[in-house]
Structure 1
Amino acid sequence: MGITVTIAAGQSDDWRPYPEEGPSELIGQLHDYWHARRGGTDRVPSRDDIRTEHIEPLLPFVWLLDFDRGTRDFRCRLIGPAVVDGVGRDCTGRTLAEVHGDARLHSRAVRPLLDMMDDARPRWRQGPPLLVHDATDLWLESLILPLATDHRMPDQVLGMTLFLASGRRNHRPVALRVV
């Protein structure tokens, strides 16, 4: 059963630098793994540094975006099955502009991603979805991490999203559909 989405509810500006306290255990595991793969404070891990066999239990919640500096848009390269279930469709191969359709919605959704591409610092968010929907008890927790082929300038996003019930610690897949 899908949920009809109309427009934005949460704030795209409530993304913040990754905090030491607050993230769930699963989000913390991905952040800690990414951090360990950095190899230095000024170094950004590349996609080749991330070994899927090391994060296998997290893969259902993980997604990967390619960044096009020319268009300043993102293409969905990989989306874990729990995220596909939560979003209500598989957007692999499509740009976020195509997925969002509405220019206002797209602008709000990509703002934190673009900020991260500029400063190469992880971002974390916990709260209601950025989209209005019929499920009043839905809560999301998301992490976005930069990846860089040259270990300096980000060109991919490694992300993780957990769909949570109102207790904010229990995974609850529920479909959100953009209309």
Structure 2
Amino acid sequence: MKNRFFLTRLRVRYLCHLLFFMVMAFEVTAQTTVTITGKVTDVKGGPLPGVSVTLKGSTTGGVTNSEGVYTIKLTNGTGTLVFSFVGHKKQEIAIAGRKTINVELQEDENSLEEVKVVVAYGTQKKESLVSSITTINPKELKGPTSNLTTMLAGRLSGVVAYQRSGEPGSDNAQFFIRE
């Protein structure tokens, strides 16, 4: 009877230890992170700062520094990294267990032609703009004077405003626009 009780106790202890080690092994494998680093360059070998590096299908990602170097931490070493940068073709590279992935991004000639500039009344292609555009916030036009033309003076680049008279009622400023 005493032997039987001892064997049952030993089995329970053995099962508890086995269960404990299985749980710890699962936690250790679930918490492993893989750090992937690399350098992103252009076709001439120069570093590309500001390149977006993301894991495809997730929000995990980062940006290259001024030397074109990136570091990204992943929960596992699988998946595909997506490299994108303005004026360059997007590139997708499978990780396949590698710790260092260096990338050379190719220029995309067509993407630069499609750059649009937002103007007050909509958007225009950058190539169709032949002059400078200056904006002013309406909150900046509040001041001690009741005349809008005097409030614009000195607030717009390329515009020279002058007032010919200080006579009451004739305080409108005149403008010269630099070409």
Instruction: State the TM-score, normalizing by the size of structure 2.
Output: 0.23
**Larger helix share, 1 or 2:** 1
Instruction: State the TM-score, normalizing by the size of structure 1.
Output: 0.23
Which has the higher Rg, Structure 1 or Structure 2?
2
